Amino acid sequence: MIAYISGALVSAGENYIVIDNHGMGYRIFVSGKFLEHIPAYGTQIKIYTHMYIREDELTLYGFHSEEELSVFRILIGISGVGPKVAMAILTALTIQELQLAVISEDAKTISKANGVGAKGALRIILELKDKLKMEDMMDAAYEQSIVQDTQDLNAARDAILALVNLGYSNSEAALAVKKIGDTSQMDIESILKAALKKLI
């Protein structure tokens, strides 16, 4: 099993990169989000990999982080989700966006990924709820999905913290604030009042 590959970035295609490691070129399939941030050719990079073996097929899939690799492996463990669909999901959504979609049962967001229909999105939500570490990642999730600028970020964060102090979980508090919609023109008191209405 190849845990990761380090080497010089040689080239990139529509859904893959090629890394030269001691004279051997590795073609590694990556997500669209990965390709958006690749460095210049010749740059030394490190990529975490999953080797997919199926009869006469041996394919490497690559990821920026071990966390992203872990989510990919969870996804391909779901019935009907193969590596290509899993990569499509990680192209359409960040890990935090996926977690928030699962916790809020937002099948529409998940079905944005190529190859994922409405029924498939619901199955993914059902299976991921018990597998992804929702609670641990909610802080990052709400910062990405419910705030637009620094002022909004501070107000939303403070409102969620206040809700947690009232006894709600991070996920409940973040989801309540998300349901408010655009909070960019609201202060913490207004956000808190609106969020409490969502929780009642």
pLDDT above 60 for 151: no
Distances (CA, A) of 19 to 46, 70, 116, 127, 130: 9, 22, 30, 34, 35
| pLDDT attached to residue 166 | 86
The pLDDT tens digits of the residues spanning 84-112 come to: 999 999 999 988 888 888 888 889 999 99
| pLDDT attached to residue 150 | 38
Question: pTM for this structure?
Answer: 0.69
The pLDDT tens digits of the residues spanning 35-45 come to: 999 999 999 99
pLDDT above 70: percentage of residues in the chain: 88
Long-range contact pairs involving 143-146 (C-beta distance under 8 Å, separation at least 24): 144/94, 144/96, 144/97, 144/100, 145/96, 145/97, 145/100, 145/178, 146/174, 146/177, 146/178, 146/180, 146/183
Q: What is the mean pLDDT of residues 51-71?
A: 91
CB 5 within 8 A of CB 51: no
| pLDDT attached to residue 56 | 79
| pLDDT attached to residue 153 | 59
- The more confident residue out of 121 and 56 is 121
The pLDDT confidence band at residue 147, using thresholds 50, 70 and 90, is very low
pLDDT above 60 for 137: no
The pLDDT tens digits of the residues spanning 63-87 come to: 999 989 999 999 999 988 999 999 9
Specify the 3-state DSSP secondary structure of 67.
Answer: helix
- The more confident residue out of 95 and 142 is 95
Specify the 3-state DSSP secondary structure of 183.
Answer: coil
Find which of 31-40, 137-146, 174-183, 190-199 is predicted with most confidence, using mean pLDDT. Answer: 31-40
Average pLDDT over the chain reads 86
pLDDT above 60 for 140: no
